[in-house]
Amino acid sequence: MKFIHTADWHIGRKLQGIDLLLDQQFVLENLIADIKKDNIDFIIIAGDLYDRSVPSKEATILLQELLVELNIENNIPIFAISGNHDSRERLAVGEAWFSKHDFYLHTELKQAFNKIEYKDADIYLLPYFEPYEARAYFDDDSLTTHNSATKRVIDEIYKNLDETRINILVAHTFVAGGLETDSEREISVGTVENVAVEIFEKFDYVALGHLHNPNALNNEKIKYSGSPLAYSFSEAKNTKGYRLVDISKDTLNEEFIELKQKRKMHNVVADYNDIFSKEFQEKFNYKEDFFSMELSGLEGVTDPMPRIKEYYPNTLQLKSKTKKENSDKNYDKKEILTKSPLELIEGFYRDEIGEELSKKQRDTLVTLVKEVEVDETN
Amino acid sequence: MKFIHTADWHIGRKLQGIDLLLDQQFVLENLIADIKKDNIDFIIIAGDLYDRSVPSKEATILLQELLVELNIENNIPIFAISGNHDSRERLAVGEAWFSKHDFYLHTELKQAFNKIEYKDADIYLLPYFEPYEARAYFDDDSLTTHNSATKRVIDEIYKNLDETRINILVAHTFVAGGLETDSEREISVGTVENVAVEIFEKFDYVALGHLHNPNALNNEKIKYSGSPLAYSFSEAKNTKGYRLVDISKDTLNEEFIELKQKRKMHNVVADYNDIFSKEFQEKFNYKEDFFSMELSGLEGVTDPMPRIKEYYPNTLQLKSKTKKENSDKNYDKKEILTKSPLELIEGFYRDEIGEELSKKQRDTLVTLVKEVEVDETN
């Protein structure tokens, strides 16, 4: 059985005010062109179809066109879930009709327990949910974290798992070991939101959405597809595409297929005086691509942006390199993920002020962090 | 063949800030209960399903529930169009799947020419459209009014009309002879928007939406259903319900069925001192119903509203009767409909200022009215 695993389309996303709709159309039309050639059984879209709970009219039209082309015109079954960016109620409009045409879209936690039987596979569609929903569903106040809530949900699924079938889970969550990009950072504080990878072990394939880096998790059958486009400069280095999965009960072959981008993102680290040469400029599709510039040699240059934009019109960020080296040197992304919120604040205070927190400061922080964690899980 | 004709649900409508969602649910659930008993062939919904182009989450959920109950759970075919209050793009989400399950929803002018064959009937679904859309579609700059544009559309439909079939048109427009209510007034200036009733003569039944009064048009086969609920106090006296139509090529039996309302609207014209008696109060479901009070005897009463609301909590309007008698005596709704904008302004000036317009004033107005009329039709 062959299927495509994609996620995090974020239709309607803007990049610092710049509309990406045509970029999204370009990339996703290429995805559909691949699908038509590949003779696949179905496509999985693991959440965040839209970027906003109330998408624009134009975003609504584009997503409809893509889904109609896949499911109505080409009869490709779709297995999809809502992500944290989708409004479940708005996304669910039409679902009762979709499912009659092999387009399965789950937006409610309780739907995760209704497996969909497709050929040799049982497919479980677990939409993005908050711990409070699991607490209500199971009437269990102990489910205060994403990890405990997700574990409880998966255990419930396991109760009726038919291990002779190919069991596929589709979920939109932050599985531990994942590397965040800027696009998701705002929704994750410390390690509160992580879900342990071990709880998914009984599935034959887990198609994840939420993190935009396809390599965010290093596991042979539990995978992120990543987003089909880069949505922040921290994703500039990620390869963007989808996963093509060929699965039987005993075998799993999976391949990451890169998608051609309309406009790429570049983090350029260079000296201000070097970037205006033709040779430097022509390393890029400089008229179209997006640039974040981190430049040395800006001392004494007043208002450098107009000149930079003359050469690289879509320059969206400009940082001074020397400044960045000082302030950011102690913040390593992987290291941050292993620390508690309290440790992070202590470290930040130490770096910036040059001394340790007083006992009174520390006690106040402990109380505050606890309050925030309780709030977050409510 | 038996069908129900309804329109102007305006799901999500508020009445002076008061949420009517539970009222709408109550009334429309009663409509569906009738449908289940009546053994009808299909239901027509002639536009304005939602009240706003971006309906609230709650409105979205209610409309979905009603449509799922009709079409998915009870297998009732639905023939629907978008009205001027609907966002065609948002309402059209899912349409490609709906039509595979006998739920036909047209939102684009061009779809009006794709008749839907259902048993002995050919059904034409003409969504609300603006004259500029007809100008573009037919490449004909002469279509500047709703009347000329609609006539052109209907003539196009007539080209392929099979007169041996039962021909049903569904449209959302203001057909001449209609009586406006406050709910629609804002969209119609003078007689610009009217469509002549004669152009529809070749149809066996025309199911109209737009005007909320079911008796807005006096024609035996071209009918408004009216809205299922009153949406402004000017509709308080309208009977609210739907039309039950039994049609063959030679016969048309049509019955207006009243729908029970959760909360009624009342225009109370009385003396301030009379409304606080138990006898007066108990003429109404006074705790629940909506009231517009037009009271005499308010002279010398400071801040009457709190006392009135003690007896009639949902009092939404209060007018002094003597004042109204003076200022409104010359404005009769039927008379207004027969006058041009210029005549209306001349009359208003005469009534308020007590003299005629000067030549200069009149000339300026002629120019202004012309400009507005051109703008309106663009």
pLDDT digits (tens, 9 = 90+) for B87-115: 999 999 999 999 999 999 999 999 999 99
Q: How far is B156 from chain A (nearest CA, A)?
A: 28
Report the range of poorest mean pLDDT among A263-267, A357-361, B57-61: A357-361
pLDDT greater than 90 at residue A104: yes
pLDDT greater than 90 at residue A183: no
Instruction: Give yes or no for a contact between B29 and B73, defined as CB atoms under 8 angstroms apart.
Output: no
- pTM listed for this prediction: 0.81
Which residue, among B241, B237, B202, has the nearest Cα to B222 in the 3D structure? B202
Which residues contact residue A282 at a Cβ distance below 8 angstroms, ignoring those fewer than 6 apart? none
Q: Mean pLDDT over residues B339-364, rounded?
A: 80
Q: Which of A57, A72, A89 sits opposite B87 (nearest CB)?
A: A57
pLDDT greater than 80 at residue B335: no
Q: How far is A82 from chain B (nearest CA, A)?
A: 15
Q: Residue B101's closest chain A neighbor by CA?
A: A97
Q: Which of B60, B72, B103 sits opposite A89 (nearest CB)?
A: B60
Interface test with A, best of B63, B73, B76, B90 (most A CBs within 10 A): B90
Interface test with B, best of A90, A100, A103 (most B CBs within 10 A): A90
pLDDT in tens, B137-196: 999 999 999 999 999 999 999 999 999 999 999 999 999 754 555 555 444 444 457 888
Q: Which of A57, A61, A94 sits opposite B97 (nearest CB)?
A: A94
Q: Residue A68's closest chain B neighbor by CA?
A: B96
Q: Which residues of A touch B80 (CB under 8 A)?
A: none
Q: Which residues of A touch B59 (CB under 8 A)?
A: none
pLDDT greater than 90 at residue B3: yes
**8 Å CB contact of A87 and B61:** no
Q: Would you state the pLDDT for residue B185? A: 46
Interface test with A, best of B58, B67, B97, B104 (most A CBs within 10 A): B97
Question: What pLDDT band is residue A349 in, cutting at 50, 70 and 90?
Answer: confident
Q: Would you state the pLDDT for residue B313? A: 95
**8 Å CB contact of A57 and B92:** no
Report the range of poorest mean pLDDT among A71-80, A246-255, A314-323, B159-168: A314-323
Give A224's strand partners: A208
Which residue, among B58, B4, B8, B21, has the nearest Cα to B263 in the 3D structure? B21
Q: Which residues of A touch B93 (CB under 8 A)?
A: 60, 64, 93-94
Q: Which residues of A touch B96 (CB under 8 A)?
A: 64, 68, 72
pLDDT greater than 80 at residue A176: no
Q: How far is A67 from chain B (nearest CA, A)?
A: 10
* B212-to-A173, B59, B82, B216 alpha-carbon distances in Å: 48, 20, 16, 8
The ipTM of this complex is 0.80
pLDDT in tens, A40-91: 999 999 999 999 999 999 999 999 999 999 999 999 999 999 999 999 999 9
**8 Å CB contact of B61 and A96:** no
Q: Would you state the pLDDT for residue B261? A: 95
Q: Please give the angle made by the CA atoms of B294, B297 and B300, to the nearest 5 degrees.
A: 120
Q: Which of A87, A94, A103 sits opposite B93 (nearest CB)?
A: A94
Q: Mean pLDDT over residues A17-40, rounded?
A: 94
Question: What pLDDT band is residue A133 in, cutting at 50, 70 and 90?
Answer: very high
DSSP-derived secondary structure for A166-233 = EEEEEEES-BTTPPP-HHHHTT--TTTT-B-GGGGTTSSEEEEES-S-TTSS--SSEEE---SS--SG
Report the range of poorest mean pLDDT among A36-50, A351-365, B124-138: A351-365
Q: Would you state the pLDDT for residue B338? A: 74
pLDDT greater than 80 at residue A95: yes
Which residue, among A1, A112, A94, has the nearest Cα to A47 in the 3D structure? A112
If you average pLDDT over every residue of chain A, what do you get?
Answer: 90
Q: Would you state the pLDDT for residue B182? A: 57
Q: Would you state the pLDDT for residue B112? A: 97
Q: Would you state the pLDDT for residue B333? A: 66
pLDDT greater than 70 at residue A354: no
Q: In the structure encoding, which two tokens stand for residue B292, read together?
A: 């517009």
**Chain B contact for A192, CB < 8 A?**
no
pLDDT greater than 90 at residue A327: no
**Chain A contact for B75, CB < 8 A?**
no
Instruction: Give yes or no for a contact between A79 and A170, defined as CB atoms under 8 angstroms apart.
Output: yes
Q: How far is B92 from chain A (nearest CA, A)?
A: 9
Cα–Cα distance, A307 to A313 (Å, whole number): 9
Radius of gyration in angstroms for the set of CA atoms belonging to chain A, rounded to a whole number: 23
Q: Would you state the pLDDT for residue A323? A: 47
Cα–Cα distance, A31 to A33 (Å, whole number): 5
Q: Which of A64, A89, A101 sits opposite B93 (nearest CB)?
A: A64
Q: Mean pLDDT over residues A101-110, rounded?
A: 98
Backbone angles phi, psi at B282, to 5 degrees: -80, 5
Question: What pLDDT band is residue B299 in, cutting at 50, 70 and 90?
Answer: confident
Angle between helix axes A57-67 and A21-38 (nearest 10 degrees) is 10
pLDDT in tens, B18-27: 999 999 999 9
Cα–Cα distance, A63 to A43 (Å, whole number): 15
**Chain B contact for A159, CB < 8 A?**
no
Question: What pLDDT band is residue A296 in, cutting at 50, 70 and 90?
Answer: very high
Q: Which of A93, A98, A101 sits opposite B60 (nearest CB)?
A: A93
Q: Would you state the pLDDT for residue B374? A: 63
pLDDT greater than 50 at residue B325: no
pLDDT greater than 70 at residue B323: no
